[in-house]
Structure 1
Amino acid sequence: MPRVRIVMCLLMITIISGSCKHQKTVFIPDNPLPVAFGDPFVLKTNNKYYLYGTTGGKAGFEAYSSDNLKDWKPEGDVYYGNNTNGWGNGAYWAPEVYEKEGKYYMFYSAQWKDNPNNEKENFKVGVAVANNPLGPFTDLSNKPIFDPGYPIIDANVYFENGKAYLYYSRCCYKHAVDSEVSAWAKEKGWYNEIEESWIYGVELKPDFSGIIGQPVVLLKPPVDMNNEHTKWESRSVLAKEANRRWNEGSVLFKDKDVYYMMYSANHFAGEYYAIGYATAQSPLGPFTKSVHNPVLEKNNIVTGTGHNSIIPDPDGKGWLCIYHGRTEKTGNDRQVFIDRMVIDKNGVLKVEGPTVSTK
């Protein structure tokens, strides 16, 4: 092989995976993305990527599209809360879009306008449908999917063997839980009680009109205070940031024969927001939290890293973790980040971030 050809081949290998014969694009993070979303979710369909997320006080959701996960085109509004069947009344959060049988379904949370007791937090989960990923999405019903009797947010859906499973977070609101941390905070005179958010799972009806069976508790904050593997989930309380502890923003996926549930803990608006994961042998658990948590947390540049979604890495060698975070430059605005994620031969999940582009 001529020397020039060898050099060119080596150069190509440095920027692509595989060989000169099998060329695949290697995704290199370029963070943060120029997208001010919280709770980001990426859908890949028809060789294109679509990005959805929480957009502050907006009464609905916007979307971006991309061919390469780096250059993102704003596509404008794709869901309006005042659509024909709109049941929400503010706080439209955490949209996730799934393709099924040629249609696109958006699961999201919002304040339910049916609020006879005037609850401050009356969040529920709904689903809207569209013929394409850019909408417009219209709610399937003029009410939420179901009412468990407490406020819920952060819908995530997992499909397997013809079944669909819904995962959600019970809000902290009016959900005080006794623990070593709550006793400690009360003794210090900081808080009289600590409210908690727990993650539940339940099977969905095939048409998404309701649930099958009763929701099961899958994850909740630790009862003990000083366990080295779980105490990171209490940082917001220990720093006197909030009288709440969270397990929220779940995303379920399967790698080999293991079910992985990633989740976020601590206050979403604070610096300690971080991501951990748990594993199980079935979609509804029981789940065991990893001793390697957290797998994504703040560093000296990025804070508030949390509420992620995942997609396969384009090079086929792992996964990508899509999450929001903040930098000194972005201030209080949540910005989207994408970092590589791998699961090693021992089944340990690792997120290679948070990273910031040096450009």
Structure 2
Amino acid sequence: MNKIILLSLIVLLSTACSFNKKNQAQLNNPISIPLGDPFIIQASDGTYYMYGTSEINGFKAYSSKDLINWTDRGVIYDKSDEKVWGKDCFWAPEVYERNGKFYLWYSANWMENPTNEAENFRIGVAVSDSPVGPFKNIYDHPVFDPGYPIIDANIYFDDEHNKTYLYYSRCCYKNPVESDASKWAQKKGWFNEIEESWVYGVEIKPDYSDVIGEPQLLLRPPVHKEDPQYEWESRSVTNHEVNRRWTEGSFIFKENDTFYMMYSANYFGGKDYAVGYATGKHPLGPFKKASNNPVLQKNTENDGIVTGTGHNMVLHLPDHQKLCVYHARTKDGGNQRIVFIDKLNIDDEGMLKVDGPTVGKVTY
């Protein structure tokens, strides 16, 4: 081979390798941000913004240029809003950039509570010109009232068909369900009934003022013990922890022609909180749970230090990589929820996998 050509090839290969190295970054799990239900967007200016549940009656934000170094941007929404409808329990914020504005979707306890319900959660939406607020409610009431408490809003924009969908979790509160798990718990004398939370989806109006049609039930805990999902989704009951089974914290995205809906199961305050997923061909299902669930769970049985992995979202990077953003607890951190970010992959067969929970360096 001509020496000049050979030298040129070596230079090209060296440049390519340098480029790849230069464009790789390393996270360090856990991320030192004490939030539950974390949600990250990359705004149109390229900056990343993180939101989540904290101890305040409102929400804070953090910003980063690289997903590694984060800056506390302070409170972006609180009860001083003149259209405030929420009393407390401001949970699970998600922010979306649309047409030059930023929309904050969240859950809170509704002040309107004539029957004194112990759980009176609803979902609302606020807007701002900036990803760090201040956010102001669009309406002085929740988006809609299904007649039962709901949390964990997630939004999917189907721009191809000019439709927008809202996903939420019906709370376990006053939703007892007969199943093999409830019969088993009754027979053991542990619990008289088992309450469940279910994930629903519904189309919403373009101005977010109401829903269109009736909410559709999309995911729920398995009814029968023969169901492959029964064991891992029933651990809160079978471990004699609480008389509830959860399906919550849903997050939907589309890959090729398939919709992936990720969700969390088990007690959100316990060690067995874990993540699974289901797939479908339409934003409102039907969805089929995956055979490799759970795809994210505690690692303490393998000498790890992480428990309570859940309420995740998927961050799509410009280079087509996907990152799974979630909260978890560590042995040293007690009950404090903290943010983790791990790589997420979908193989040629359409199977989703999360490379975590990881403690230490994560190269992406």
TM-score where L is the length of structure 1: 0.93
**1:50 alignment partner in structure 2:** 49
- How big is the shift at 1:347? 0.1
**1:246 alignment partner in structure 2:** 246
Paired with 1:21 and 1:116, the residues of 2 have a C-alpha distance of 62
**RMSD, aligned α-carbons:** 2.0
* Alignment match of 2:39 (pick from 38, 41, 44): 41
Distance 1:179 1:103, change over 3 A: same
**2:193 alignment partner in structure 1:** 193
Paired with 1:94 and 1:87, the residues of 2 have a C-alpha distance of 16
SS in 2 for 1:114: coil
- How big is the shift at 1:25? 2.4
**2:128 alignment partner in structure 1:** 130
Q: What 5-or-longer segments of structure 1 have no aligned partner?
A: 13-17
Q: What amino acid is the match of 1:306?
A: G
Paired with 1:275 and 1:333, the residues of 2 have a C-alpha distance of 19
Paired with 2:113 and 2:236, the residues of 1 have a C-alpha distance of 30
- How big is the shift at 1:312? 1.2
Q: Please list the CA deviations of residues 208-260 of structure 1 after superposition, one character each: whole Å capped at 9, or x if unmatched.
A: 11111110000000001243343200011110111000000000000000000
Q: What amino acid is the match of 1:204?
A: I
Distance 1:91 1:43, change over 3 A: same
SS in 1 for 2:186: helix
- How big is the shift at 1:82? 2.9
Q: What amino acid is the match of 2:316?
A: P
Q: What amino acid is the match of 2:352?
A: L
SS in 2 for 1:65: strand
Does the CA-based 8 Å contact 1:65-1:72 persist in structure 2?
Answer: yes
Q: Please list the CA deviations of residues 149-195 of structure 1 after superposition, one character each: whole Å capped at 9, or x if unmatched.
A: 00000000000122110000000000000000000000000000000
* Alignment match of 1:108 (pick from 106, 109, 118): 106
Paired with 1:159 and 1:24, the residues of 2 have a C-alpha distance of 34
**1:339 alignment partner in structure 2:** 342
**2:176 alignment partner in structure 1:** 176
**1:28 alignment partner in structure 2:** 26
Paired with 1:311 and 1:183, the residues of 2 have a C-alpha distance of 40
* Alignment match of 1:324 (pick from 316, 324, 327): 327
Q: Please list the CA deviations of residues 284-330 of structure 1 after superposition, one character each: whole Å capped at 9, or x if unmatched.
A: 000000011000000021000000011114542x3100000010121
**1:15 alignment partner in structure 2:** none
**1:68 alignment partner in structure 2:** 66
Q: What amino acid is the match of 1:299?
A: N
Does the CA-based 8 Å contact 1:41-1:96 persist in structure 2?
Answer: yes
Matches within 5 A, 1:147-166: 147-160=145-158, 161=160, 162-166=162-166
Q: What 5-or-longer segments of structure 2 have no aligned partner?
A: none
SS in 2 for 1:209: coil
Paired with 1:187 and 1:240, the residues of 2 have a C-alpha distance of 13
SS in 2 for 1:30: strand
Paired with 1:50 and 1:30, the residues of 2 have a C-alpha distance of 17
Does the CA-based 8 Å contact 2:222-2:229 persist in structure 1?
Answer: no
Paired with 1:323 and 1:7, the residues of 2 have a C-alpha distance of 41
Distance 1:140 1:336, change over 3 A: same
- How big is the shift at 1:84? 1.2
Does the CA-based 8 Å contact 1:27-1:313 persist in structure 2?
Answer: no
**2:353 alignment partner in structure 1:** 350
Q: What amino acid is the match of 1:341?
A: L
Q: Please list the CA deviations of residues 118-170 of structure 1 after superposition, one character each: whole Å capped at 9, or x if unmatched.
A: 00000000000000100000000110000000000000000012211000000
**1:142 alignment partner in structure 2:** 140
**1:87 alignment partner in structure 2:** 85
Paired with 1:90 and 1:159, the residues of 2 have a C-alpha distance of 28
Paired with 1:141 and 1:266, the residues of 2 have a C-alpha distance of 33
Does the CA-based 8 Å contact 1:53-1:62 persist in structure 2?
Answer: yes
Match status 1:306 vs 2:304: no
Distance 1:271 1:282, change over 3 A: same
Does the CA-based 8 Å contact 1:230-1:293 persist in structure 2?
Answer: no
Paired with 2:293 and 2:165, the residues of 1 have a C-alpha distance of 25
Matches within 5 A, 1:213-232: 213-232=213-232
Would you say how many aligned residue pairs link Structure 1 and Structure 2? 350
Paired with 2:171 and 2:25, the residues of 1 have a C-alpha distance of 36
